[in-house]
Structure 1
Amino acid sequence: MLSSTLARRLKNPIFIQTTLLPFTTHSLSTKPTSHFPSQTPHTTTSPPNDDDSAAVFETLSCYGNDWKRALEFFNWAEAQAQFPHPAETYNRMIDILGKFFEFDLSWDLIERMKRTTTITTAAPSSAPNHATFRVLFNRYAAAHLVGEAVGVYRDRLEGFNLKDEASFCNLIDALCEHKHVIEAYDLCFGKTDGGDFAGKNSTKVHNMILRGWFKMGWWGKCREFWEEMDRKGVEKDLVSYSIYMDIVCKSGKPWKAVKLYKYMKSKGMKLDVVAYNTVIRAIGLSDGVDFALRVFREMRELGCDPNVVTCNILIKLLCENGRLRDAYKLLDEMPKRGVMPDVITYHSFFANLGRPKEILLLFDRMIGSGVRPRMDTYVMLMRKFGRWGFLRPVFVVWKKMEELGCSPDEFAYNALIDALVDKGMVDLARKYDEEMLAKGLSAKPRAELDTKMVEGG
């Protein structure tokens, strides 16, 4: 098992850069055949502790844009550090592989999970579970491999004793999340045989389909399905109303969401934090941020505690209305109310601040408070500084990304290269362009670098 000392090291970006990155690079260059160890998985007498699992999980996430390096670290943790992977770290690795369409390797890992549970005392903590196949459904749906996702549910889940209603709902949710709601609808109600759990007047399934139409932005279809639920006698719950409020709000009619909110109150429905978040956003858009703050106070008076999403909505409204001082005040108050800011909290400030120095100070504050930037955080800042013509802040952000052990994706590379090209630094831009191509990432065609689109796109 990983020692607590090594678990602390895995959270240290310097250790990641000086030890893990060179190790995995060396492993990639000398590895003879398979991506997986040939030996029998390590047998342990106790499951991993939470600190170990969190450290390994976080390190894998740092390699989220480099599946080969992630897999080398995954195998190293098991073989060299004697870490018995629980389902959580297996699932994270499967997610990374699926992101790069490495589904054969994903299935190798799933089979490895199944084998491990029969020969180690870590079982059943490493057994494939509903979360494992939720990840797989999600990656198949994101890759538009709908047939493969449905095939897993129909043909393979029985072998894992997981062909049940929870898995069916995970499949439908994944299809709806990635805009395959038509196929999801057919599985549930119509043309395609969805098995034992299809065709039921389940509120949960109908809510997922309603959210699927919402993800497509087909507002007319949303309204039609909302009315269909009434005709079929489907009982609408708080989640149903929350989704539909979000639909009318995002379709450009926030006043209708406010009207629905008043209807819910007249019926004596007790709103939860998710419903209130939608209402606050809707009222902020239709009536202004001050009215949104009134609902925020009402929410607290009624005993419904705000969460980070509530505060993020208010901070975004305040920032967009130029009330940065009030937004900063709310940011300072969040920890006092037991609500810790997340990366989305800071994104609202970054999108609306107008001075590089102020943005970088807030960026440092974010990291210092323990909030880890996402890849789109780095990309957002580099693009913004690049548009303004400030190259030094672009490199400050790039360097911080490297220090934190994050592997840049194609959007990060392209943001940096665009900034360099705009400043006439063509040779340096070409260096990064070649580096990203060597990693298998897609570069933009640029006349300045003598690159062009491959025929056929």
Structure 2
Amino acid sequence: MRGRFSTQLLNICIASLCKARKLDKAEAVVVDGIRLGCLPDVVTYNTLIAAYCRFVGLDQAYLIVRRMREAGVKPDVITYNSLMAGASRYNLPSYCRHLFDEMSKDGITPDEWSCNTLMHCLFNCGCPEEAFQIFSDMSSKNISPSIVTYNTLINGYFKYGRSVSAIKTFRRLQKFGFSPELVTYNTMLDGLFKSGKLGQVRSIFKEIRESGIIPNAITYTTVMKCWFKSRKFEQGLDLFSEMMSKEYTSDVFAYCTVISALVKRGKTEDAHLCIRQMLNNGIGIDLACYNVIINVYCKEKNMNNALQLLNEIEEAGLQSDEYTYSTLVDGFCKLGDVNSARNHLRVMEISGLSMNLVAYNCLIDGLCKAGQVDHAISVFKMMKIRDSFTYTALLHGLCKVGRFRVASKFLWTCLRKGIEVLKSAQLAVLRGLRCSGFGKDAKILKAAIWRARFLHDIK
């Protein structure tokens, strides 16, 4: 009893030190325990492995398995589950699969969590077929799937565009007597929303209410996004009011969803009221929320307040992202202040952020509207990635200043690459060529546009 109690006390001390990230001291306690005759057991080593996986690295954690064997302690399923969780966290599917196979070779039977972890890792790393195979193999290994297994499977189906299979799995669960938990329902709501099945989102939400399960902030926020995307703003706002009445006042995502919806409808005053309410409720603002508020100020053309928020982001120790700068670039361009827009784009590049297509497109559009077409072409040449909006903005800008021959060359490039541009831009180029006396060029270009429609399915 004394030895068992001492090992238990040793494990409690090590767990506390690992939780505090003091792994050196935890290792020292193990050494002291051995010196005093209190030998570590499998729980001791599993605690260390979990901590090393989370705070140090997977290779260092795996070395502890060798130490276990040298000490005569056999690894168990929890040992390998901890290592697999670490491999999943670092998105290493091959490593995770290797651990799964090694566990079986060592005579350790994988359990439900082993399969869940491996499936989750494979889904996250783009190996859905292997993940589906792991689920299929569970029955042959006499491993009973849990609700977590089914949640992982349903999420994987949605992630890889197999929404019908996800819905069938969900209904099969109910048919076989599984009672879906709120997590399962939330997974369904999120997957259906991202798949564009908005009607089914509302049906599932109705089912949640009828089942007696209490929705949480995630549930409400997902359904609110569904209402707003369906352009049923009043229903979305009613749901937000219901959420607030249930004292879900600390969810920043819900507020951001409502603020974004109000901004899109042009109700900036209501958006400001919502921002004030959020701040009064003591909700900490994260970067996503800052970006939403900056967007509000840019829509109002209040760039001073937007820039003040940019300073607040830095003071709060947060790092502005591509969305922050894209919003500012767009706001300055709409004000006609292309110099400030260009400066913020430069700051984004200096900050080491990746090239943002939206920001560059906004700048090209702003330069063209300001009549600085040559500068727009310079920016265009700098871009490694271009899309249909890039070309459309440039074509309209060139036509605006009467440079139809140059515009026709860019349009020819679009036709050869199968890039779709707006019909208004195509017509502007054709009309400009005819009015400038280049009727023959316009005729050839028009024929090329018709050919491209059949070859590339360009409208």
TM-score bracket for this pair, using the shorter chain length: 0.5 to 0.7
Q: Which amino acid aligns with 1:306?
A: P
Q: Distance in 2 between matches of 1:380 and 1:444?
A: 20
- What RMSD in Å do the two structures reach over aligned CA positions? 4.8
Contact 2:17 2:25 in 1 (8 A): no
SS at match of 2:321: helix
Q: Which has the higher helix share?
A: 2
Contact 2:151 2:184 in 1 (8 A): yes
- Structure number with the bigger relative contact order (C-alpha 8 A, sep ≥ 6) is 1
Q: Distance in 1 between matches of 2:158 and 2:237?
A: 26
Aligned partner of 1:425 in structure 2 is 340
Does 2:289 correspond to 1:373? no
CA-to-partner distance for each residue in 1:379-406, whole Å, 9 max, x for gaps?
465478669976334224335546xx62
Aligned partner of 1:415 in structure 2 is 325
Give the 3 Å change call, closer, same or farther, for CA 340–182 of structure 1 in structure 2.
farther
Which shows bigger deviation, 310-319 or 419-428? Answer: 419-428
Contact 1:378 1:397 in 2 (8 A): yes
Q: Distance in 2 between matches of 1:89 and 1:187?
A: 23
CA-to-partner distance for each residue in 1:296-352, whole Å, 9 max, x for gaps?
233233332222221122122122222222222112212433544512223433554
Contact 1:421 1:429 in 2 (8 A): no
User: How many matched pairs?
Assistant: 325
Shift of 1:180: 1.1
Does 2:316 correspond to 1:406? yes
Contact 1:386 1:394 in 2 (8 A): yes
Q: Which amino acid aligns with 1:137?
A: C
Q: Which amino acid aligns with 1:188?
A: F
- Is there any run of 5+ residues in structure 2 with no aligned partner, and where? 1-14, 31-43, 364-381, 383-459
Contact 2:313 2:320 in 1 (8 A): no
Give the 3 Å change call, closer, same or farther, for CA 129–236 of structure 1 in structure 2.
same
CA-to-partner distance for each residue in 1:55-76, whole Å, 9 max, x for gaps?
xxxxxxxxxxxxxxxxxxxxxx
Aligned partner of 1:260 in structure 2 is 169
Give the 3 Å change call, closer, same or farther, for CA 383–90 of structure 1 in structure 2.
farther
Aligned partner of 2:178 in structure 1 is 269
Aligned partner of 2:141 in structure 1 is 232
Does 2:23 correspond to 1:110? yes
Does 2:234 correspond to 1:322? no
Aligned partner of 2:131 in structure 1 is 222
Q: Report 1:349-368 matches (<5 A).
A: 349-352=258-261, 353-354=263-264, 355=266, 357-368=269-280
Does 2:358 correspond to 1:442? no
Q: Distance in 1 between matches of 2:132 and 2:297?
A: 42
Shift of 1:182: 1.9
Does 2:199 correspond to 1:295? no
Does 2:91 correspond to 1:175? no
Q: Distance in 2 between matches of 1:302 and 1:417?
A: 42
TM-score (norm 1): 0.56
Give the 3 Å change call, closer, same or farther, for CA 213–431 of structure 1 in structure 2.
closer
Q: Distance in 1 between matches of 2:276 and 2:319?
A: 22
Q: Distance in 1 between matches of 2:54 and 2:170?
A: 32
Q: Distance in 1 between matches of 2:80 and 2:307?
A: 46
1:397 to 286, 306, 309: 309
Contact 2:295 2:327 in 1 (8 A): no
Q: Which amino acid aligns with 1:442?
A: G
SS at match of 1:173: helix
SS at match of 2:212: coil
CA-to-partner distance for each residue in 1:108-141, whole Å, 9 max, x for gaps?
x533677899xxxxxxxxxx9989975753465x
Give the 3 Å change call, closer, same or farther, for CA 167–359 of structure 1 in structure 2.
farther
Which shows bigger deviation, 235-244 or 292-301? Answer: 292-301
Q: Distance in 2 between matches of 1:312 and 1:374?
A: 17
Q: Distance in 1 between matches of 2:182 and 2:225?
A: 17
CA-to-partner distance for each residue in 1:72-112, whole Å, 9 max, x for gaps?
xxxxxxxxxxxxxx969975xx6xxxxxxxxxxxxxx5336
Shift of 1:267: 0.7
Shift of 1:281: 3.6
Q: Which amino acid aligns with 2:309?
A: V
Aligned partner of 2:62 in structure 1 is 150
